[in-house]
Structure 1
Amino acid sequence: MNTDEPLRDEVVLIDKPLGLTSHDVVARVRRASGERRVGHAGTLDPLASGLLIVLIGRGATRRQVEFMGQPKIYQAELTFGSISETEDAEGPILPQATLEELQALTEADILKVLENFIGTIEQRPPAHSAIKVDGQPLYKKARKGLLIAEDIPTRTVTIDSITLDQFVPTTPPFPPTARITVHCQKGTYIRSLARDIGAALGVGGYLSELRRTAIGDFKVTDASTLEEFEKK
């Protein structure tokens, strides 16, 4: 974006691509806009894509808490039969179920388990997250091998609905997968949800794909790519 005057108080919708951190997106928007005060309203991991609200200017960044408190919609793919140390595809991935157990998994099993995660629930955040315990981000303790699940306090979160969009049974060597759409409130970790669904099914599971499609009334279909924003 070429302009002699820095932008002020603008809310920009960016469709974050895979591979970039939310900080990477903010840095590129800062360079393109010429505005020093740039932030975002809700982190997306590098392995996730979709809607990122970027706030440009003092007035917009002051509304960060307002935007972060909005409900969100995610589309996720869950892979069953293994668990992940990071609870997503970054791994390491550890097998948890036999072929017979995976072949026995049905769509009805998944639908029944999903019902248990709708409403207000207690959720344990991922070990590899930025949540602080005793003043230190969890991911730093996890990388040093100083963290066990019991050290991570649970949090109360609300999941408004979960829709099973697709179930693909196992066809060796490929594990079974499920695609779901999740409507949830702030603070919900989809990585943790994937982990807990896999555990409830008795076969293990992790988040293999994630895309955020909405935050409140903002939709990813109205978002620009970074390249489109930079060319404006």
Structure 2
Amino acid sequence: MALARQPIRDAIHRVMTTDSTAVPKQEICGILALNKPKGITSRDAVNMIQRWATGLRLGHAGTLDPLATGVLVVCVGRATRLISLIQELPKVYRATFLLGRSSPTDDVDGEITIHEGAVPPTLQQIETVLPEFTGRILQRPPVYSAVKIRGRRGYEWARQGTPQLPQPRPVDVYELKVLRYEYPELEMEIRCGSGTYVRSLGRDLAENLGTRAVMSELTRLAVGRFTLEESVDPRTLDERRWLEYLRPPIVAAQHLPQLRLDEASLRGLLHGQWPRCQEELVPGQKAAVVDQFNNLLAIVEVQKGSRLKPLVNLATPAH
């Protein structure tokens, strides 16, 4: 088993400089950071890439509603196996809420009710309650959400006229910061973990202040190390240009310790065995197995006795 292989950029170069039909599609594997435009679904954005990536599997890690813009991470080829890992990464959002208003969807896409008697909170009052919504908190997802309730999505129940209240669930909110407040507009930056609904944060924050709120704008600024500044509008791409933005799978695992295994251990790992790790890692910790070119070969989880449990295998048959 050869442990070395050329970096993914070499395969991409061959696709871009030769007849793409002559290059095996399975060589194309990577991650795109898209800047999703407003007014389309996340699937619509993926479909824009699918036109050029025919025959390749594509998937996105973390849905953005049509109202929202910003970072949408799209995995291509074998990198789709990393979607669950990317979904676990922390997110950063910039959101605008309109106070003194409510809607069934908790945003401006629903029918808005203006509460004329609502008392505008002061900036000091808003900042005083922010600590109550940071850390590990219990949050009730919106009625219109993809959360499953008795086998069906929340939005499916709501659209048929029988809305169901989802059960509160724990989420992590690392930081809340007021960027601008000009009543009724409240603009905030939110750093949070997976599964956090920004609409719900605005709704609950307003209720704590004795008023109501709907979200009017949302931009995802970052997913882990995938940032808005490095993202590309899918509407600007074409059959060749999309490959220029394809990043190697290792970028999804840069937050993990990196391991290089000897040939026997790597062979065993890629065949489902649990080799021992020579590094001192904590049981339960995830790590990235890489080759000498820094290509990502696998994601593992450290077990007792320094055993490495394979979670994701990205290696090609050449390995």
- TM (norm. structure 1) is 0.90
1:8 aligns with 2:22: no
For 1:222, the aligned partner's letter is E
1:125 aligns with 2:141: yes
Task: Return the offset for 1:97.
Answer: 4.3
Find the residue that maps to 1:33 and give its secondary structure: coil
Paired with 2:70 and 2:76, the residues of 1 have a C-alpha distance of 19
Q: Which of 148, 151, 176 is equivalent to 1:162? A: 176
Paired with 1:35 and 1:14, the residues of 2 have a C-alpha distance of 20
Paired with 1:95 and 1:225, the residues of 2 have a C-alpha distance of 35
Higher relative contact order (CA 8 A, sep 6+): 1
Q: Which of 150, 154, 161 is equivalent to 1:134? A: 150
For 1:218, the aligned partner's letter is F
Gaps of 5+ in 2: 1-14, 242-319
1:93-128: CA deviation from partner (whole Å, max 9, x where unpaired): 1123416x13xx211111112221011100000111
1:182-225: CA deviation from partner (whole Å, max 9, x where unpaired): 00000100011111111111110011100001001111100111
1:225 corresponds in structure 2 to: 233
Find the residue that maps to 2:129 and give its secondary structure: helix
1:172 corresponds in structure 2 to: none
For 1:162, the aligned partner's letter is L
2:191 corresponds in structure 1 to: 183
Q: State whether residues 146 and 154 of structure 2, in contact with CA within 8 Å, keep that contact through their aligned partners in structure 1.
A: yes
Q: State whether residues 157 and 164 of structure 2, in contact with CA within 8 Å, keep that contact through their aligned partners in structure 1.
A: no
Aligned-CA RMSD value = 1.6
Paired with 1:204 and 1:8, the residues of 2 have a C-alpha distance of 48
Find the residue that maps to 2:125 and give its secondary structure: helix
Give percent identity, aligned residues only. Answer: 35
Q: State whether residues 97 and 204 of structure 1, in contact with CA within 8 Å, keep that contact through their aligned partners in structure 2.
A: no
2:70 corresponds in structure 1 to: 50
Paired with 2:224 and 2:124, the residues of 1 have a C-alpha distance of 31
Return structure 1 stretches of 4+ with deviation > 4 angstroms: none
Q: State whether residues 35 and 56 of structure 1, in contact with CA within 8 Å, keep that contact through their aligned partners in structure 2.
A: no
